[in-house]
Structure 1
Amino acid sequence: MLPAGEPKFRRRPADRPAEILSAALEVFAERGFQAARLEEVAKRAGVSKGALYLYFETKADLFRAVVTDAISPNIEKVKGLASAPVPFEQAARMGLGMMARTVAVDRRITGVVKLVIAESRNHPELAAIWHETVVEPGVQLMSGLIAAAQARGEVRAGDPRLFAFGLMGPMVLSMVWRETFEPVGAPAIDVPALADQHLDTVLRGMRP
């Protein structure tokens, strides 16, 4: 039973309009967290600010919903690709290749990564949301795949978590580069090519 005075809609996150989350992702990526205004999110979504508050009490609530609904599903896609009954190297190429060709080149997502890095000191809740929703699930997924590959003799001995960081690092670097240095004239990175070359190098070093 709902507490007295608790609106039903705040207990029904599945009913959140996709238009609000899509608009919020764009606004956060463009403006950052501090400068983002719920009025602008509502306008882009085609709803009133009052209607937006029916779903989200605070801007942090909206940010969590954006990350959960618009970004973290990519982790599930990678999980689905990587869980196929194939050798580890093939699974790694499939999973990181998909990330390189979708997540790391999506301007909205790279903009949110920049937001988290730039504003987490003043808004640590942003880093906490990103870590628990995106970073840690991704690292655990890759670490688990590596540990299983080690047990099968496909990967040499070593800390699976550190191997995972080594595999995924260039994806993070490419997103930071795109949002920080490209706007001031640095040449663009071919992220899929970076992923392919990096995997060629690192997977060779991980073999027994």
Structure 2
Amino acid sequence: MRRANTDAAKDLRRNQFLEAGLQEFFERGFSLAKMENIARRAGVSKGTLYLYFDSKQDLFMAIVSSVAVPRVEMLEGILRQANDFELALDLLVNALPMMIQDSKLPMLAKVLIGDAFAFPEVVKRYRQDVIERALASLTDLIQRGCESGQLHTDNPHNAARLMVAPVIFSAIWTVVFEQGAEQKLDLTSLFQTHKSMLLKALRK
């Protein structure tokens, strides 16, 4: 493969490494994934791969930044622009199915859950950069709803965790249990049901 000489070519090459890396991690797990295999998938030498990433862990964190962090930023944006809890839920219900179906998030979740003890520092960073940011935004939304008299809960933080639970369930389901299945999980219907249950549970 030709050497990348321009910034655009380097960005393209880097994205190819991220794609190849995610596929390797997804198929083999973090522990068994090898940089030489990732280089082979991308059609380059291992030395070329190391010009972009110092280690397997460095590459995985770059994948997290590419795949997960933009989705969290989108979630934060949705929740910031919604002054009303029900409006925020409507926006989330519309966005989440696409976020799961049209992204690599489920593949990332499978790697993290399946091999978490092998790379605790990466899991810690993911929790800080992705999960805790999402939970903080949801907690803030629920607290604002309680302060306005719209909602009632004794523990907004736990309520936020319960709000996000179907997202994790859906991500795992799509990459683990739908392999070879004839019937796919209807994410739109699932999140609509979740919205209805949340409103019944949290409305004052």
Shorter chain as normaliser: what TM range? 0.7 to 0.9
**Structure 2 counterparts to residues 126-165 of structure 1, below 5 A:** 126-165=122-161
C-alpha separation in 2, matches of 1:128 and 1:106: 25
SS at match of 2:32: coil
C-alpha separation in 2, matches of 1:167 and 1:27: 31
Structure with a larger share of its residues in helix: 2
Q: 1:153 to 1:46 in 2, by over 3 A?
A: farther
- Does residue 1:120 correspond to 2:122, yes or no? no
C-alpha separation in 2, matches of 1:189 and 1:23: 27
Note the C-alpha offset of 1:52. Answer: 1.6
C-alpha separation in 1, matches of 2:41 and 2:180: 28
Provide the TM-score with structure 2 as the length reference.
0.83
Corresponding residue number in structure 2 for 1:199: 195
C-alpha separation in 2, matches of 1:88 and 1:107: 26
Note the C-alpha offset of 1:185. Answer: 4.5
Corresponding residue number in structure 2 for 1:30: 27
Corresponding residue number in structure 2 for 1:56: 53
C-alpha separation in 1, matches of 2:182 and 2:137: 33
Q: 1:183 to 1:59 in 2, by over 3 A?
A: same
Aligned-residue RMSD, C-alpha? 2.4
C-alpha separation in 2, matches of 1:153 and 1:174: 31
Note the C-alpha offset of 1:85. Answer: 4.2
- Does residue 1:84 correspond to 2:72, yes or no? no
SS at match of 2:104: helix
Q: After superposing the two structures, state which structure 1 stretch, 43-52 or 79-88, moved more.
A: 43-52
Provide the TM-score with structure 1 as the length reference.
0.82
Q: Is the 8 A contact 1:167 1:202 kept in 2?
A: yes
Q: Is the 8 A contact 1:79 1:95 kept in 2?
A: no
Note the C-alpha offset of 1:133. Answer: 2.0
C-alpha separation in 1, matches of 2:139 and 2:148: 14
Q: Number of matched residues?
A: 194
Corresponding residue number in structure 1 for 2:64: 67
One-letter identity of the residue aligned with 2:97 = A
| Runs of at least 5 residues in structure 2 that lack an aligned partner in the other structure | 1-9
